[in-house]
Structure 1
């Protein structure tokens, strides 16, 4: 394995080197970097031309300029990168740091959400092949996959941004709106759960009544301006996470695991009472410390209570504990939604990655950053989740038709064990490739999304450098995206070996 990794790294280095040389030559020959100054009527035009020539090294041959860039990149081995300056003399390394942090914040959220939602929906459609739910999801997947990114972004800016901000002035729902939303969600829920038509009708009816009642209550108390979850909601979802994860991955009859996860949920609910006031105005160090403590305590409960299933109990207890910690975090955040609205009456931002000079505290600032990232994240998620859903469905269907799956069913194993332990793991192997390349591709592929929403990220830096015939920002973009593609591809290869031990040979 070590020789394989070293060989792959060596080949990848040669690919990066050849790609960087080709991109550098294409960039510097794509136009005249002094065109705007040659046409200028400024009195100091000659001085500006000399200054830009010095910044960009235009008085040197192309291979000398490329060698200077390559020499600066080689210093990254000693963590002292020198990526040169752009045509205005600004250090490209500092530009890259700001752009990469902005883009990664966007890409990571979108990719994680798309992976989780896409894989779950893909598994459900594979299990319920040719059902109404499968047809609807397939139609939506093809629809989202074929939609132009800029068109989706513009629609979201109009209806999920501008119109939502207008609605937040008086966030109330009319009876017609409440019934319409409840009918749509009830229809979706019965399609997901499936079953006989009587069961579907009962599911849709119960969902319609519950959702309509909840929306009517929220509208009457202005919950959308002053939201709150509370310990009741945290306890309900925490217990559901404990029971649901146990039933899915270990079986509800495994009492050791069930008691361990329920104990973890109980400890988390009790911890909510002292922790919630503590994080009313927290620091990141405090939140990280509490998260680490959650991991240690949850894993320890599962390990010591799990008995012969201690590994499964520890992992599922960890999932339960982290779920409750996340809900507590969300509860503290949404409790400050009203104070954020007082500082920013139009909460959903449509331009930029942050609000300049925002005066809020910890939670208000965090909510503002979340509002800034919301719309571009939805755009990238919608496009990516469609492909993940189709790939997962196809992979699961192929695996479920294999002989070892039929053998597992003939041995009397439950459908849960067949799907989760025998089918899903093997279906992940081709999906791993898609995840790796999609993450690397999104870093460079968010150019259009960043342009529409005014984000100063990697895409904007690449576009500006290319338009100005400035190779330094373009090469910095290539360095990050090319390295990300190679690293993610290598991680995918290692994941193959973890998922299928036969590949290690």
Structure 2
């Protein structure tokens, strides 16, 4: 397992470098970061614009700019921002806010999707399965932005009827130092919005995988040995059914990050989503690259983690022998 882990990490490093180069080229060619200054009326002196170009390194060829940026990142310097934001200083706090939302949403969605998928498979084509299927398809059809806005309106009506703020519709709680139940009030709505958006599709994968497992010979053998259906499902079926689900979670992490950007925008969280949107508005190459680099790294690491989880779910897998 250790050899496999080291090998995957060795492959991930050049993969990340190639991905960062492609992203840097695309982001740098997307527009002129100083265009908003050039379009001012009256425009600033040409000497000022020239000075900003030199400060941001825009006068250098793209390959050289990438190399300088990459060397800076290796030393913890993410480059200069157009709006004078210290990227390295704000990045950890913004990342913590976004990861808190994403991780909690993944945990909630995974638990609910596994429960719904297993129950639907065990009660296949019954009343419970059909009812859950309707609920799942409704969840899949809900646009995330619209659903988040509806949750805000619902929370506002609850707060008004109760005469106090139970569910917070704006902010992430970091500015107020919220903790305990207050922090839960900030987290509840964004987590529900993001979790509902992903649990619906995940539960269908679990259901399909569990139906396939229930029809295998080893499940029939487990029942023949005297295990109840619940015992057979939990002891033998669930572990094998979860292997495709682990793959789905890892592969859909990037879309989950995109959903987090939308969710943070609706609830006005000052996380990585807000950082990305401001960077795009300002054509701030280094801010956008910092965001892309962080989540590209997270995606690669999550896929590596998924491969390692396979070994825990299925003892027959031995990475060291394969590689």
Within 5 Å, which residues of 2 pair with 1:14-413? Answer: 14-41=14-41, 45-46=45-46, 48-75=48-75, 81-159=76-154, 161-169=155-163, 345-354=164-173, 356-357=175-176, 365-413=179-227
Give structure 2 stretches of 5+ with no counterpart.
none
CA contact (8 A) 1:110 1:377 kept: yes
Secondary structure of 1:502's aligned partner: coil
Distance in 1 (alpha carbons) for counterparts of 2:55 and 2:115: 51
Name whichever of 36-45 and 452-461 sits farther off: 36-45
Q: CA deviation at 1:444?
A: 4.2
Q: Does 1:502 align with 2:313?
A: no
CA contact (8 A) 1:444 1:481 kept: no
Aligned match of 1:492:
306
Q: CA deviation at 1:10?
A: 2.6
CA contact (8 A) 1:448 1:459 kept: yes
CA contact (8 A) 2:12 2:300 kept: yes
Q: CA deviation at 1:355?
A: 7.1
After TM superposition, the score normalised by the length of structure 1 is 0.60
Distance in 1 (alpha carbons) for counterparts of 2:200 and 2:179: 32
Distance in 1 (alpha carbons) for counterparts of 2:199 and 2:171: 24
Q: Give a deviation string over 1:467-492, Cα, whole Å, max 9, x none.
A: 32221111111111111111111111
CA contact (8 A) 2:80 2:286 kept: yes
CA contact (8 A) 2:139 2:197 kept: yes
The count of aligned residue pairs is 319
Aligned match of 1:422:
236
Distance in 1 (alpha carbons) for counterparts of 2:216 and 2:200: 25
Aligned match of 2:270:
456
CA contact (8 A) 2:37 2:43 kept: no
Q: Give a deviation string over 1:99-131, Cα, whole Å, max 9, x none.
A: 111101111111111111111121111111111
Distance in 2 (alpha carbons) for counterparts of 1:445 and 1:56: 31
Give structure 1 stretches of 5+ with no counterpart.
76-80, 170-344, 359-363
Q: CA deviation at 1:441?
A: 4.2
Distance in 2 (alpha carbons) for counterparts of 1:55 and 1:137: 58
Q: CA deviation at 1:28?
A: 1.3
CA contact (8 A) 2:37 2:44 kept: no
Aligned pair partner of 2:287 in 473, 476, 479: 473
Larger Rg: 1
Q: CA deviation at 1:434?
A: 1.9
User: Structure 1: which 4+ aligned runs deviate by more than 3 Å?
Assistant: 41-48, 355-358, 437-441
Taking structure 1 as reference, are residues 480 and 43 closer, same or farther at Cα in structure 2, changes over 3 Å only?
A: closer
CA contact (8 A) 2:27 2:289 kept: no
CA contact (8 A) 1:447 1:459 kept: yes
Q: Give a deviation string over 1:272-328, Cα, whole Å, max 9, x none.
A: xxxxxxxxxxxxxxxxxxxxxxxxxxxxxxxxxxxxxxxxxxxxxxxxxxxxxxxxx
Distance in 1 (alpha carbons) for counterparts of 2:47 and 2:85: 18
Taking structure 1 as reference, are residues 503 and 356 closer, same or farther at Cα in structure 2, changes over 3 Å only?
A: closer
Aligned match of 1:437:
251
Please provide the CA RMSD for this pair.
2.0
Q: CA deviation at 1:423?
A: 0.7
Distance in 2 (alpha carbons) for counterparts of 1:490 and 1:52: 41
Q: CA deviation at 1:44?
A: 5.2
Taking structure 1 as reference, are residues 13 and 403 closer, same or farther at Cα in structure 2, changes over 3 Å only?
A: same
Secondary structure of 1:446's aligned partner: helix
Name whichever of 5-14 and 22-31 sits farther off: 5-14
Distance in 1 (alpha carbons) for counterparts of 2:169 and 2:45: 38
Distance in 2 (alpha carbons) for counterparts of 1:14 and 1:167: 56
